[in-house]
Amino acid sequence: VLEGNAEVDTAALTGESIPVSVAPGMEVLAGSVAIDGALTIRVDKPYGDSAVARVLAALEHAQDSKSHTEKFITRFARIYTPIVCGIALALVLIPPLFFGGDWHEWIYRGLSALVVSCPCALVISVPLSFFGGIGGAGKMGILVKGGNYLEALAKTETVVFDKTGTLTEGRFEVAELNAENGFDKESVLFYAACAESLSTHPIALSIVNGYGRETDGHAQNISETAGKGVSATVDGHAVLAGNALLMRESCIEFKETVTSGTTVYVAVDGKFAGSIVIKDKIKRDSAQAIARLKNTGVKNTVMLSGDNEAIAREVAEKTGLDAVYARLLPADKVERLEELLRKKTSGKTLVYVGDGLNDAPVLARADVGIAMGGVGSDSAIEAADVVIMTDEPMRVADAVWLSKKVRRIVYENIWFAIAVKVAVLLLSALGLATMWWAVFADVGVAFIAILNALRALSTEKRERKKAFKRK
């Protein structure tokens, strides 16, 4: 920055929810948005080295290195089909050629075995289970981009969250009021809300919303100083509302507040009146979502955030997360995720949940990436494997629960079909089963397996609550 002061929104790049004050001599990232004030800046790096370009490059690299789970049925059919065809052919040829068996009888038995071994139940019911699961997820506002991602979710061991817009709403609210020098909290909020009434800054809007009453007609001569705060005349009183720098420049003796949020100091007629602490609001179901994830068997819940350490740690404590890493740029997030991927158990899945442009590379690199579809950026939604349209963290737990249910249905169909087919196949080889038995082992088992697969469509709220309670 060469000239000017401003509040800069870097949330799309760093995930930091609170705008950053910049002044001459400070560095700003390409892709940041100046909320107030005008800046004269010097470009120090070409586009290829800019923050946005690095995010896109990391996204492309992450997508190249991502592996996909191969469908079980494909692996199984590769072995199953030639074996059963060989068995049927052996039944037709070996007994008549080498043991004097009757050709008519052994051809009949061989054909029965071939009908029994037809993998209709597996070929139809297994994909249908995944399709049903995807449909059931859709009813809950969860869009899954493929059955392999639904299958991978069932093996989730670690869930990594972004903070702003994922566990928090990305909107500020008044979290704390402090009054000094004979002022009461209500008057501190009133003076601040009137002084901030014409500002479009997110912090100013949160103060006005926190006051919740009409402010028109109370304030005159409102003047906003970019990166510092506002001054105004409220009902004849000179009011200052802003950061510590504004208080010092105005020679106001004030009591500095140590907090994990953003503090707005208020002075009336040259006298310190108090302070207002603004914080990003945690989503109402974030803590419950973390608890339910642990209920479903998830061992580790982690948060990666570009926000400062104090804010990130407070959110982690309130939501019950196991670990938190703060002040991370997009490249740092990918590096931290790589560490977590190396630490996870072989065969298990790491899931990342995010919403911003800065989350796109991490979403692509994770075993399964989940994006918040309502507030999420286009790049995050494009990079993700699962999209939650309602922006509710609880849906992450629901997705894991549903994936485990679908996997259970798939295994039920596989073992039921194999058990019946092997039993009837042996009976056919021994001449104890007729062609009607063989038809049942093929068509009947397929029909039963299909009906069982349709259970994946059911995502009743009562069933989910019962499952979590049982756990």
Structure tokens at 371: 């994006």
d(CA 205, CA 278): 11
Number of Cα atoms under 13 Å in the Cβ half of residue 396: 35
Q: Measured on CA atoms in the order 12, 13, 18, 22, is the torsion positive or negative?
A: negative
d(CA 174, CA 106): 83
Task: Name beta bridge partners: 172.
Answer: 280
Write the DSSP assignment of 103-169 as a string of letters.
HHHHHHHHHHHHHHH-THHHHHHHHHHHHHHHHHHHHTTEEES-HHHHHHHTTEEEEEE-SBTTTEE
**Cα–Cα distances in angstroms (integers) from residue 225 to residues 58, 196, 209, 228, 433, in the given order:** 38, 12, 21, 6, 90
d(CA 175, CA 101): 88
Which candidate in 9, 36, 102, 162 is catalytic?
A: 162
Known catalytic residue at 162: yes
d(CA 426, CA 241): 85
Pick the closest to residue 171 from 209, 197, 228 (CA basis). Answer: 209
Output the 3-class SS for 25-77: CCCCCCCCEEEECCCECCCCCCHHHCHHHHHHHHHHHHHHCCCCCCCHHHHHH
Residues designated as active site:
162
